[in-house]
Amino acid sequence: MTDDVKLLMLAGDYVEDYEIMVPYQALLMVGYKVDVVCPGKKAGDKVLTAIHDFEGAQTYSEKPGHAFVLNADFDAIDTDEYLGLIIPGGRAPEYLRLNARVLEIVKAFSDRPIAAICHGAQLLAAAGIIKGREVSAYPACRPDVELAGGTYADIPVTEAVTDGELVTAPAWPAHPAWLAQFLKVLGANVSI
């Protein structure tokens, strides 16, 4: 794998910390170049992250995370340069789905590898690319998936589901399954 194989990651303020940090670092580790962008921001700008945890309440808790440094300019993105798309969850997808250019970007990947986790399904639904597809997400996003014509995959929080070139998972505890399935869809050959 060489760093000329590029992936695009969509981020925004209050993206889930583990869902941006872990896939970013893991994909770099196996040789992909990962450009991380956010509307209205340039390379060197930061997005704030939030740490979501499962502590026995009816929904996740939220704590301050890190300041993640973006490494590419949103306005300069040419989707033709990228093999696949990564959409981390957290609160960012909720407002990113209001940005027309973000939705154009997601639609441009509808026939290429996409990995979306947690609330990332909100972007998939808003872009209209999940009709007739099996999609996992954080359980509170089930209505978004179903209203967009997708079939919600109610799977354990540690699992992921692949439908064609779309790989989705409920939350960060699924990273091992989600990233392994995404690498397979990308055609990567990882061995020890």
All structural domains of the chain, each given as residue ranges with its CATH number in brackets, are: 4-184 (3.40.50.880)
Which of 26, 90, 88 has the alpha carbon at shortest distance from 53?
Answer: 90
Residue 134, sorted as left (phi over 0), alpha (psi -120 to 50) or beta, turns out to be: beta
Residues in the chain predicted with pLDDT less than 50, given as ranges, are 1-2
Which of the residues 38, 52, 66, 118 is marked catalytic?
Answer: 118
pLDDT recorded at residue 192: 67
- What angle, 0 to 180 degrees and rounded to 10, lies between the N-to-C axes of helices 17-29 and 175-186? 40
- Catalytic, 119? Answer yes
Q: Using the 8-state DSSP alphabet, how is residue 10 labeled? A: E
Report the length, in residues, of the chain: 192
Which of the residues 38, 52, 119, 141 is marked catalytic?
Answer: 119
Whole-model pTM?
0.96
What are the angstrom distances between the C-alpha of 131 and each of 41, 62, 121, 127, 145? Answer: 31, 31, 12, 10, 9
- Catalytic, 38? Answer no
pLDDT recorded at residue 59: 84
CA 55 to chain centre: 23
Count the neighbouring beta carbons within 10 Å of the beta carbon of residue 12. Answer: 24
Strand ranges in 71-126 using DSSP code E only, listed in sequence order: 84-87, 114-117
User: How far is residue 17's CA from residue 75's CA, in Å, rounded to a whole number?
Assistant: 23
pLDDT recorded at residue 118: 97
CA 141 to chain centre: 14
pLDDT single digits (tens) 67-109: 999 999 999 999 999 999 999 999 999 999 999 999 999 999 9
Q: C-alpha angle 142/137/125, rounded to 5°?
A: 65
pLDDT recorded at residue 54: 83
